Amino acid sequence: MTIPATQCLIRLHDDHHTLEDYQGGMPRWCNGCGDNAILTAVQRICRDEDLSPERMVFVSGIGCSSRFPHYMSTYGFHGIHGRAFPIAEGIKMARPDLHVFVNTGDGDCCSIGAAHWIHAVRYNMNLTVLLHDNFVYGLTKKQASPTSPRGLKSNTTPRGADLEALNPLTVTLGVQNASFVAQAVDWIPEVLHDIVAEAYHHKGFSFVRIIQRCPEFLPTMLEPWLQDPSKALLLTHENGLQLSSDVKRIYKNQLEHDPLDIDRAREIASSVDVIPVGILYRNPEIPRYEELRGAGQARPAERIRAGLEAELDRFTVWPDESVEEQAVA
């Protein structure tokens, strides 16, 4: 059988991808920003999974984290504030074959985008969601966000934030149809990579909260956790996260946790003395909205054309035939 030359080239190109194939524009994040670690982890996963860049879409809203699509050499959609989820859902409904990622921040997701976030969990569409949480609005120069700890002094809370911080993990675990909830930190890159990889492989709405440093506006906030490895509680399980010997040696505070136990997951997510790191909950049996609605089913061109014509005809202003006849006469 003869194969066209173009097909041969496509096959050769698809056989293997390097890290450079996923690198887009030069990142403009601050030196030491946790977003850089997240970008590196995602690009490594793309390379390890040998994903075709043309079959990937990164969707974001507004914020430091939402510049992510600009730094990936894939398809991307930089949306408006808080609206990343409905955009990603629309893409997935039209093209369920694509790998769709959502990059959002603690303000973008948990404030103006909160309603979309909650219902995105309910729909349980096959999306990989990375919540970049640095506890502050960084792009607009240090305002309190929903996840800012009580007492945080910022440009909008000069006397200190009055409210307790919103916990994205417990919120997500409290929504019907939650199917994958995990937490990572930017300063343990190996574990960050493994958690995001597990999220990608999960069939459903994968929600990963990533606690990250903001060296510009909160340079010392996470120092106690960086200096004391015991303040991180690493969750392990045969059906969850597996730790390397090097990580085990440094982070000795570990807990065997079954990701199917949602009640225990909620307890762990509520921890305040330590930061739980790992997969809190995973249930692959939750139905996915795009499958329930038959997303991406092929439609004949004639049917698409007829539908468009019918809609356009509703608004068409047809000429008055009697007037035209009089003009001819």
242 domain-assigned: yes
What per-residue confidence (pLDDT) applies to 1? 45
Question: For the chain, what is the domain count?
Answer: 1
What per-residue confidence (pLDDT) applies to 297? 75
The Cα 138–Cα 30 span in angstroms is 10
- pTM as predicted: 0.87
pLDDT beneath 50, residues of the chain: 1
What per-residue confidence (pLDDT) applies to 303? 78
Beta strand ranges found along 95-205 (DSSP E): 99-105, 128-133, 136-137, 143-144, 180-185
φ/ψ (deg, to 5) at 83: -110, 20
125 domain-assigned: yes
3 domain-assigned: no
211 domain-assigned: yes
124 domain-assigned: yes
- Alpha carbon of 293 to those of 23, 200, 222, 243, 287: distances in Å? 34, 22, 44, 38, 11
What per-residue confidence (pLDDT) applies to 224? 94
279 domain-assigned: yes
Within a 13 Å sphere around the CA of 106, how many CA atoms are in the beta-carbon half? 28
301 domain-assigned: no
| Residue 101 structural domain | 18-291
What is the bridge-based pairing of β-strands 136-137 and 143-144?
Answer: antiparallel
165 domain-assigned: yes
Torsion sign (Cα): 138, 139, 140, 146: negative
Please state whether 322 falls in left (phi above 0), alpha (psi between -120 and 50) or beta.
alpha
pLDDT digits (tens, 9 = 90+) for 82-115: 999 999 999 999 999 999 999 999 999 999 999 9
Residue length of the chain: 329
What per-residue confidence (pLDDT) applies to 295? 80
What CATH number corresponds to the domain at position 172? 3.40.50.970
The number of angstroms, rounded, from the C-alpha of 14 to the middle of its chain's C-alpha atoms is 25
Find the Cα–Cα–Cα–Cα dihedral 146, 150, 153, 159, rounded to 10°: 120
- Alpha carbon of 313 to those of 43, 295, 317: distances in Å? 47, 27, 8
